[in-house]
Amino acid sequence: MIGNFMNPPEPSNGQAYTQKDYKTGILWVCCPHCGKRQFPLSDGARIENQEFQCKGSNCKKLFLVNYNQMHL
């Protein structure tokens, strides 16, 4: 039984998350529903309350992106 070894997945709140590609060092925005990488973020990127649709062929759900990473 997997429940004895792992926590159940967190319910999605519709908020995208970021994930770093450790081979290239590029930060990607990922769909909170299916986990597919959507688009890369550059240094100094700032996105507030922007809604996107997932590019995944089986997902196509809407999610919200809030990202503010300013490098001085």
Query: How many independent structural domains does the chain possess?
Result: 1
Q: If you search the block for the tokens 């159940």, which residue do you land on?
A: 8
Res 6 pLDDT > 80: no
Alpha-carbon distances of 42 from 7, 25, 26, 61, 68, rounded to whole Å: 33, 11, 8, 24, 11
pLDDT band at residue 7, thresholds of 50, 70 and 90? low
Res 49 pLDDT > 80: yes
Per-residue pLDDT, 72:
40
Beta 27-30 vs 17-20: how paired, if at all? Answer: antiparallel
pLDDT band at residue 71, thresholds of 50, 70 and 90? very low
Would the pTM of this model clear 0.85, i.e. be above it? no
Domain range spanning residue 24? Answer: 2-68
